[in-house]
Structure formats: C-alpha cells, structure tokens
Amino acid sequence: MNAKETRHIITALVANKSGVLTRISGLFARRGYNIESLSVCSTDDPAVSRMTIVALGTDDELTQIEHQLNKLVDCRKVKTVDSANCVKRELLLIKVHVPAEKRNEVASTANLMKVKVIDVSEDSVICEMTGESNKVDKFIDLMKPYGILELARSGITALERGSDCIDSATDYNEEINK
C-alpha cells in the first residue's frame, strides 16, 4: 500500500552565508525529493536567513527531510508549518499582451481580483498580485486568452498564526551566548 503524498511547507532558519542554499537543495536532490517552491530572505538578524520550502511527499518522507536538515551545520532550526494554521502568500508578476482596445477588460479583471497594474506600454501590461496559490493560478488562467508574454512567481512564503513561531534572532542569539 502506497502512502499518500501531500504538499508540506517547511521553514528553516539557516546561516546567511555562501553555499547554504546549495547544500540544502543538494540534500533534497540526493534523496530524490523535489522542491516545489523555495523562498529565501534574510531575517531581522543579518546572520540568519529564513527559508520556506514546499515539497511533495509522504509524512514519512517529510520526517526524513526534517531529520536530514537538522543534521546540517548551517541549519539552525527546522519546523513544518501546519498548512491549515498559517498565512501563506505568493507574489506574481505577469506581463500580458494587451492591445489598447482590450486594456479596460484586463484592468477590470485585475481590479476584481485586487491585482495591481504596475506598468503599461503600447501593447502590454505588467500586473502584480499577492495571494494564495490557487488565486494566483486563477488570475493566470484569466490572462491566458490575452497572451502571456512572461511571468515570474516567488513561491510560497508562510508564517504560522498566533504566537507560535520559529523566531530567528531571539533563539539563535540565546544559543550563541550560552
């Protein structure tokens, strides 16, 4: 009997230095796990970065990934985020071919979905959207008939609701000062 694969959101606090991303992505590759999306940024502490990794796998595979990440020297803290108890967003920039006579249609659709038109040229527009992945997918589908010239998506970024957190500066600095 095969275990069910699901999407898992993993957050990790890692050292903000060269090569860390390569080591973490290499860990996934060596074990045959695919990273569906990856978002990385520095935190309030410039020595620490926060990674949000979305991976598809079974619960057992997720446990194995967590154990392997925790073994990496540059990985300070790893936590799986409960998808039902977090706020997750994705950024989309999309350039759509829009002749002047169709601009009102695109602007109206963008407005209905709370999407910003951030650039207008002679025959195209660039829109910016922040939202949950399913809403981003829906907007992309609505723009396909006009002709998508380019698009870029950030991947999911997530934070747990409430006071439970994977605090970067507080925990890490306490660890260093011991």
Q: Is 111 found in the same domain as 148?
A: yes
Residue identified by tokens 């399913």 is: 134
| pLDDT higher than threshold 60 for residue 169 | no
What's the chain's average pLDDT? 89
Residue 75 and residue 10 share a domain:
yes
Tell me if 14 is assigned to some domain: yes
Q: Of 65-69, 128-132, 168-172, which range is least confident?
A: 168-172
Q: Which amino acid is at 2?
A: N
Whether residues 76 and 94 fall in one domain: no
- pLDDT for res 33: 86
- On the question of pLDDT at 168 being above 70, the answer is no
- Res. 172: pLDDT tops 50: no
Q: Say if 169 falls within a structural domain.
A: no
The model's pLDDT over 52-90, given as tens digits with 9 standing for 90+, comes to 999 988 888 888 999 999 999 999 999 999 888 899 999
Q: Say which residue, 172 or 123, is predicted with more confidence.
A: 123
Tell me the whole-structure pTM to 2 decimals: 0.80
Q: What angle do CA 171, 175, 178 make, to 5 degrees?
A: 135
Domain total in the chain = 2
Where does the pLDDT of residue 1 fall: very low under 50, low under 70, confident under 90, or very high at 90 and above?
very low
Listed in sequence order, the residues at least 6 apart from 156 whose beta carbon sits closer than 8 Å to its beta carbon are 9, 37, 39, 52, 54, 88, 89, 90, 133
Q: In 3-state terms, what secondary structure has residue 79? A: strand
Same domain, 71 and 16: yes
CATH number where 141 lies: 3.30.70.1150
Parent domain of 148: 87-157
